[in-house]
Amino acid sequence: MDVQAVSALLAALVILAIGASVVLRNRSDRTYTSFAAFAFMVSAWHLCNFVAMATDSALAGWLALWPAATIPPTAIAFFRAFLAQPSIGGRHRPPRVTLAWTFVAYLGLIYSAVFDPIHHELWFAVPFGAYVFGGLYRCVYDMYVQYRATVKRVERTRVRYLALGGFVAITLALTDVLPRFGVAWPTLGNVLSILYLYFLSQTLFRYRLLDINELVGKMAVLGTLVLLLWAVYGLLLAWIGGGQEGLYLLNAIVASFVILILFEPVRARLENGVNRWLVRQRTELRGRIDRVRRDLGNVVDVPDMVAKIITAFEESRRATDGAVYLIDPDGAGFDRAGWFGRAPDDRIDAGSARAFLDAVRAGHVDVEVLRRELGDTTGTGAPAGAPADAERRATVEAVIAMAERLHADLVFPLLGTGETEQGPWLLGLLAVGDDRADGAFDLDDIDSFRQLAAQAARVIESSQAYERVKERDRLAALGEMAAGLAHEIRNPLGAIKGAAQLLIGPDGKPMPPSPEIAEMVQVIVEEANRLNNVVTRFLDYTRADRAERLDQVTVDVNAVVKKTVSLLQQAPEARGAEITVKLDDMLPPVVGDPEALVQVFLNLGLNAIQAMPQGGTLDILTTRRRRSRLGYGQFAEVRFRDTGVGIARDKIMKLFIPFFTTKARGSGLGLAISQRIVSQHGGTIEVRSTPGQGSTFSVFLPTRPQPAQAAQAAAIPSPDDEVELTPPPPPAV
């Protein structure tokens, strides 16, 4: 008896056991019964082949062709039923075309038995083999098509494993016919068929990806044991030779002990490696959560916090869905702030989802636990079917339904320190889901999520406190701006009122024309123009549409500075000041509005000249910089340094507040407007000043297009002078 016959018998018995184990588990499930039918046909084929090879019987060879002809339709029926499971989402299709070819094969076998034994002929064997293996390869093709169409990642992995394993097993089974044609080839097809069918049977019982990977790990460990046994006993047989059965039995016992001693450390190493492979996603998730929790300690921006959390979940590949919800300003519901995976509801209404929110506030929502509870909900001691039981069941079902709308298995509360009538103040929700399996997260995962939710709640409260401080400062700045605006309007109005009163005589009639009356009229006109100028400059400051026409022209900063210097030299205030200019010929251009930049540079230059009433020097230079308060990059710096009186420490913080001025007659809008223009160019203004020695205003403009920076990035003093104060951003108007 050759090795092919023995391997056929072994395959027949093992595959028969695999099929029987499946059908004994569930005889009512169509997928189980179709797999059993497929396995029984394969077992019958191997058994008939064994009998044919062991007895050299032509009848057994003919009988083996019947289960072989039945294998394709049973295989296709099983795989299509398996792929049509709801978790995979395939379309159920019966093997109608294959059944037609099966009927043709049956007719050929009947003709071979009744009229002429054509099953021995090559012209019959080749098409018959093509029919059998073609049907099996069709199963692999169906799995590949479903793999491309499956959405869930775990099911894609299952189908991919099965398609690849099926292709390898079928191909090696096809090569088992080579020894019949005199080709030396090891019998591997039967072994691979056994392993593949066993793996296939286990996928019917195990739906979680970790279970499938665990099965692969066990197969690797057992396979290593088989190889070790084969190697040891093979060497033992080669050494003993024939006629030494007693010595072989003794040595086999000794070798068994040696194998068990050697295999233990090998098994431990293999299992540790497999376990590390299985839990790598879980370890990665917890590591990312720990890093995010540490990072959130330095975060006060809520959108940044949400982005960090969502990115950590998505990149860990441990969860398939996640979302963060934050309470709206009115407290009437929760808006979706960030998500990944399947899109959840964009809003949770506090009124309609009261039961769900109460369940989340009480700790957290675990959908798997709630589903188990549905099977045994009896209220508070009431018998099944009592009102308390029905009410609790309805509440649990509502919570589960809401969680499913969020595609979440776990929902955690972001609890604040405040208290409400319902309990702790609920600031938001953290929802996490894994559509690959139920109960995908263990207790350690839940604890990590809970700690992350607590840290996120602290960030939200810190952000709210920071916003309250900003709002207070904004209101204070708004009050100062309003006071300045009232002052600027009241002065010309007072002059206009006084002049108008002089135009009316004691008797209430207009005064006759005279030089004095003409002078009063001129005062009214001048003050009205002054009032109009104040309003115009204020509107220039508040108008935001200037940014729409910026970033359109490539600007030579040196040319703008030259134009500014020519205008400064013509100003009456510049008669006692010396203006020096130093330009960087290699200064890269910027993109923006040259006229707006002229307005900025001219304002800074006039301020510097006016700060030197007794005369002095104004140095203007341009240079390239790699760094500013905006960060690292390519910047063009325009510096205005004067030798004037400087700016007091308590005033430098207010320089860019509208209507704040250190001049006797000034609107206080020049620097505020300059700051707004530079900010719209994506740049910043940095200030440093030493009282009694002078001030330096530096304008930094990016040399490539950038979006407008936030107003608070402007007007930050440099760290190399005595006064290093940062003016606050101008308040919103």
The DSSP code sequence of 411-476 is EEEEEEEEE-SSSEEEEEEEEEE-TT-TT-S-HHHHHHHHHHHHHHHHHHHHHHHHHHHHHHHHHH
The residue ranges of DSSP E strands in 465-603, in sequence order, are 553-555, 577-582, 590-592
The predicted-structure confidence for 147-166, as pLDDT tens digits, reads as follows 888 766 667 777 888 888 88
- Of residues 708 and 150, more confidence is placed in 150
pLDDT for position 641: 93
pLDDT for position 559: 92
pLDDT for position 496: 77
Enter the DSSP assignment of 547: G
Q: What is the average pLDDT across 255-281?
A: 56
CA–CA dist 116, 448 (Å, integer): 74
Report whether pLDDT(296) > 70.
Answer: yes
- Write the burial class of residue 447 (CB in 10 Å: 0-12 exposed, 13-18 middle, 19+ buried): exposed
pLDDT for position 387: 53
Enter the DSSP assignment of 594: H
Enter the DSSP assignment of 682: T
CA–CA dist 563, 575 (Å, integer): 18
CA–CA dist 258, 229 (Å, integer): 10
Q: What percent of the chain has pLDDT over 70?
A: 70
Own/partner pairs, 573-578, CB within 8 angstroms, 24+ separation: 573/606, 573/609, 573/610, 574/609, 576/612, 576/613, 576/614, 576/615, 576/616, 577/609, 577/612, 577/615, 577/616, 577/617, 577/618, 578/615, 578/616, 578/617, 578/618
CA–CA dist 650, 725 (Å, integer): 9
What is the DSSP secondary-structure string of 295-364? HHTT---HHHHHHHHHHHHHHHTS-SEEEEEEE-TTSSEEEEEEEESS---SEEETTTTHHHHHHHHTS-
- From the list 693, 670, 697, 669, the residue with the least C-alpha distance to 684 is 697
pLDDT for position 440: 66
The answer for residues whose C-beta is within 8 angstroms of residue 408's C-beta and 6 or more apart is 321, 322, 323, 344, 365, 367, 431, 432, 433
The predicted-structure confidence for 98-143, as pLDDT tens digits, reads as follows 788 889 888 988 888 888 777 777 788 888 889 998 999 999 998 8
The predicted-structure confidence for 554-579, as pLDDT tens digits, reads as follows 889 999 999 888 888 877 777 778 89
Is residue 490 very low, low, confident or very high in pLDDT (cuts 50, 70, 90)? low
Beta carbons within 10 angstroms of residue 182's beta carbon: 6
State the chain's mean pLDDT as an integer.
Answer: 76
Report whether pLDDT(488) > 70.
Answer: no
Of 368-377, 398-407, 539-548, which has the strongest mean pLDDT? 398-407
The predicted-structure confidence for 21-67, as pLDDT tens digits, reads as follows 888 877 778 888 899 999 999 999 988 988 888 888 888 888 888 89
* Global confidence as pTM: 0.40
Helices within 56-181 (DSSP H only): 58-83, 96-114, 122-149, 153-175
Structure tokens at 548: 């729409």
The answer for residues whose C-beta is within 8 angstroms of residue 364's C-beta and 6 or more apart is 410, 411, 412, 413, 446, 449, 450
Across 19-33, 250-264, 422-436, 632-646, least confident range: 250-264
Of 286-290, 546-550, 561-565, which has the strongest mean pLDDT? 561-565
Amino acid occupying residue 610: Q
Q: Map tokens 């009102």 to a residue.
A: 387
Structure tokens at 156: 């894609």
Is residue 593 very low, low, confident or very high in pLDDT (cuts 50, 70, 90)? confident
Report whether pLDDT(585) > 50.
Answer: yes
pLDDT for position 663: 62
Q: State phi, psi for 485 to the nearest 5 degrees.
A: -65, -40
CA–CA dist 22, 204 (Å, integer): 9
Report whether pLDDT(534) > 50.
Answer: yes
Is residue 300 very low, low, confident or very high in pLDDT (cuts 50, 70, 90)? confident
Is residue 256 very low, low, confident or very high in pLDDT (cuts 50, 70, 90)? low
The answer for residues whose C-beta is within 8 angstroms of residue 316's C-beta and 6 or more apart is 281, 284, 285, 288
SS3 246: helix
Q: What angle do CA 526, 528, 533 make, to 5 degrees?
A: 95
Q: What is the average pLDDT across 656-683?
A: 73
Of 197-201, 268-272, 710-714, which has the strongest mean pLDDT? 197-201
Across 217-221, 254-258, 661-665, 700-704, least confident range: 254-258
Q: What is the average pLDDT across 343-353?
A: 88
pLDDT for position 99: 84
Q: What is the average pLDDT across 653-672?
A: 66
Across 168-177, 248-257, 264-273, 647-656, least confident range: 248-257
Is residue 547 very low, low, confident or very high in pLDDT (cuts 50, 70, 90)? very low
Beta carbons within 10 angstroms of residue 340's beta carbon: 15
Residue 617 bridge partners (DSSP) = 578
CA–CA dist 273, 218 (Å, integer): 12
CA–CA dist 129, 124 (Å, integer): 9
pLDDT for position 70: 92
CA–CA dist 203, 126 (Å, integer): 33
Report whether pLDDT(185) > 70.
Answer: no
C-alpha of 551 from chain center: 32
- Exposure of 534 in the CB half-sphere (CA atoms within 13 A): 23
CA–CA dist 426, 416 (Å, integer): 6
pLDDT for position 560: 92
Is residue 714 very low, low, confident or very high in pLDDT (cuts 50, 70, 90)? very low
- Of residues 638 and 722, more confidence is placed in 638
- Of residues 111 and 656, more confidence is placed in 111
CA–CA dist 4, 567 (Å, integer): 103
Beta strands 347-349 and 590-592 are unpaired
CA–CA dist 369, 376 (Å, integer): 11
CA–CA dist 149, 143 (Å, integer): 10
Is residue 181 very low, low, confident or very high in pLDDT (cuts 50, 70, 90)? low
Report whether pLDDT(376) > 60.
Answer: no
Q: Are 597 and 555 in contact (CB under 8 A)?
A: yes
**No. of H helices and E strands in the chain?**
20, 13
Report whether pLDDT(83) > 50.
Answer: yes
- Exposure of 635 in the CB half-sphere (CA atoms within 13 A): 23
Report whether pLDDT(243) > 70.
Answer: no
Across 407-421, 631-645, 688-702, least confident range: 407-421
